[in-house]
Amino acid sequence: MSNATDSLSPTASKRQPFLVGACRESARDERRVALTPASARYLSELGYRCLLEQGAGVAAGFSDAAYREAGVEIVAARAVLLAQVDIIIQVRPPSSDEIAAVPSDKILISFFWPAQNAALLAAANARRITVLAMDMVPRISRAQKMDALSSMANIAGYRAVIEAGNHFGRFFTGQITAAGKVPPAKVLVIGAGVAGLAAIGTAQSLGAIVRAFDVRPEVAEQIESMGAEFLLLDFAEDGSGDGGYAKPASEAFIAKEMALFREQAPEVDIVITTALIPGRPAPLLWPAEMVGLMQAGSVVVDLAAEQGGNCEMTVKDALITTDNGVKVVGYTDFPSRMATQSSLLYATNIRHMLDDLTPQNDGVPLVNMADDVIRSATVCHQGDLTYPPPKLTVPAIAKPAAVTPVDPAVALRTAQAAAKKATTIQSVSLLAAGLMMLLIGSIAPASFMQHLIVFVLACFVGFQVIWKVSHALHTPLMAVTNAISGIIIIGALLQVSSTSWLVTGLAAVAVLIASINIVGGFVVTRRMLAMFQKSEG
Catalytic residue among 86, 135, 147, 333: 147
What does DSSP assign to residue 12? Answer: T
pLDDT at 3: 44
64: Cα within 13 Å, side-chain hemisphere = 12
pLDDT at 450: 76
50 contacts 38 by C-beta, under 8 angstroms = no
288 contacts 315 by C-beta, under 8 angstroms = no
**147 among known catalytic residues:** yes
More confident residue, 66 or 12: 66
Q: By three-state DSSP, how is residue 68 classified?
A: helix
Instruction: Provide, rounded to the nearest whole percent, the portion of the chain with pLDDT above 70.
Output: 84
Catalytic residue among 42, 67, 158, 245: 245
41: Cα within 13 Å, side-chain hemisphere = 8
pLDDT-based confidence at residue 394 (cuts at 50, 70, 90): low
Catalytic residue among 26, 63, 144, 295: 144
Amino acid in the structure at residue 426: Q
33-41 average pLDDT score: 97
pLDDT at 285: 92
154 contacts 198 by C-beta, under 8 angstroms = yes
d(CA 367, CA 369): 6
pLDDT at 17: 83
Alpha carbon 443 to its chain's center: 63
pLDDT-based confidence at residue 168 (cuts at 50, 70, 90): very high
CA-to-CA dists, residue 69 to 37, 41, 45, 57, 64, angstroms: 8, 10, 15, 14, 9
Catalytic residue among 31, 32, 49, 139: 139
**Per-residue pLDDT tens over the stretch 284-301:** 999 999 999 999 999 999
138-143 average pLDDT score: 89
Highest mean pLDDT among 336-340, 409-413, 491-495: 336-340
Is residue 447 over pLDDT 50? yes
pTM above 0.95, yes or no: no
d(CA 351, CA 362): 14
Mean pLDDT, the chain, rounded, equals 85
More confident residue, 236 or 329: 329
More confident residue, 358 or 489: 358
**Per-residue pLDDT tens over the stretch 496-530:** 788 888 888 888 898 888 888 888 777 777 777 67
Catalytic residue among 150, 307, 341, 485: 150
pLDDT at 403: 47
Instruction: Provide, rounded to the nearest whole percent, the portion of the chain with pLDDT above 90.
Output: 57
Q: How many CB atoms lie within 10 A of CB 377?
A: 27
pLDDT at 494: 78
Q: What sign results for the dihedral spanned by CA atoms 385, 386, 389, 390?
A: positive
Region of poorest pLDDT, from 325-334, 388-397, 472-481: 472-481
d(CA 213, CA 173): 21
pLDDT at 480: 63
Query: Which residues, other chains included, contact 447 with Cβ-Cβ below 8 Å and sequence gap of 6+?
Result: none
pLDDT at 449: 78
Long-range interactions of 198-201: CB distance < 8 A, separation 24+: 198/153, 198/154, 198/155, 198/156, 198/157, 198/158, 199/157, 199/158, 199/160, 199/161, 199/272, 199/274, 200/157, 200/226, 200/228, 201/226
pLDDT at 75: 96
72 contacts 43 by C-beta, under 8 angstroms = no
**116 among known catalytic residues:** no
**245 among known catalytic residues:** yes
Is residue 2 over pLDDT 50? no
pLDDT at 531: 66
